[in-house]
Amino acid sequence: MTRACRLTVLFFSLATALALAVPRVTSVEPDAVVPGGSAVAKGSDLGKGSVASLYLTAGGSDVKVEITEQSAEAISFKLPDSTEMKRYRLMVLTSGAGAAYMEQPIALEVVDEATAKQRAEEGEVELEIIEAEPAEEEEEEQGRRRRRNR
């Protein structure tokens, strides 16, 4: 009976570990790319042991992309020059004996160069640094205002 319990626990532990190792894409940067351009998909369990190939998919038309770099947290890829301009979802082909295609909830839009440039410029944020006044100067200014209001 003890041996059966140990085997059951081992089986469920292994099943849980395998279930947690599912490739998951959580973002892609940039989200608009020109045909032939490059992007980076970020997420978890994206290494070679989990992901064999990466695709763009849209309504039955799938485009295999070239993986240029791959780690557990990111996949850098390049689109073929012939990629049609439209909105795609990312799809991974998992590695191993039970390989399966898994469409991801992340979208990538293939656009012309002018649109890609415009989106890149819109994404840039300029930060203005405002220096805080020292506390003593602020207190003096408040004192002056009080005296004027009397």
Which domains are delineated in the chain?
A: 22-124 (2.60.40.10)
Handedness of CA 143, 147, 148, 150 (dihedral sign): positive
pLDDT for 129 equals 46
pTM over 0.75, yes/no: no
Q: Which residues of the chain have pLDDT under 50?
A: 1, 5, 7, 10, 13-17, 125-130, 132-133
What count of residues does the chain have?
150
| CA–CA dist 107, 87 (Å, integer) | 7
CB contact at 8 A, 25 and 31: no
pLDDT for 125 equals 41
